Amino acid sequence: KLIDMQWKLSFATSSNRCPNMNTPLVTVMLTIALPSGSTRKKYLQLELSEFKNFAGRIKEIASMIENV
């Protein structure tokens, strides 16, 4: 079960694989409730276009849940 979702926008200027990256990145932190009652945090790092797609999917899912 998803408990919380937070996101942060940053700007990557370089990486190990790409010295001239200059790409906006979004870090998403998901807090998930496990069946045992404990929680776990999952992190995703997405390029801006990937995040926009991800956010669109989340909106679609939320809309489907509201209609149930």
Render pLDDT for 18-66 as a digit per residue (tens, 0 to 9): 666 778 889 999 999 999 999 999 999 898 889 999 999 989 988 888 8
Q: What is the pTM of this model?
A: 0.70
CA distance 43 to 27: 7
Given phi > 0 = left and psi -120 to 50 = alpha, else beta, which region is 67?
Answer: alpha
pLDDT, residue 19, reads 64
Query: How would residue 13 be classed by pLDDT, with cut points 50, 70 and 90?
Result: confident
Asked if the 2-66 domain carries CATH number 3.10.450, the reply is yes
For residue 38, what are its two tokens? 């404990």
Q: What is the separation, in whole angstroms, between the first and last Cα of the chain?
A: 17
CA distance 31 to 44: 12
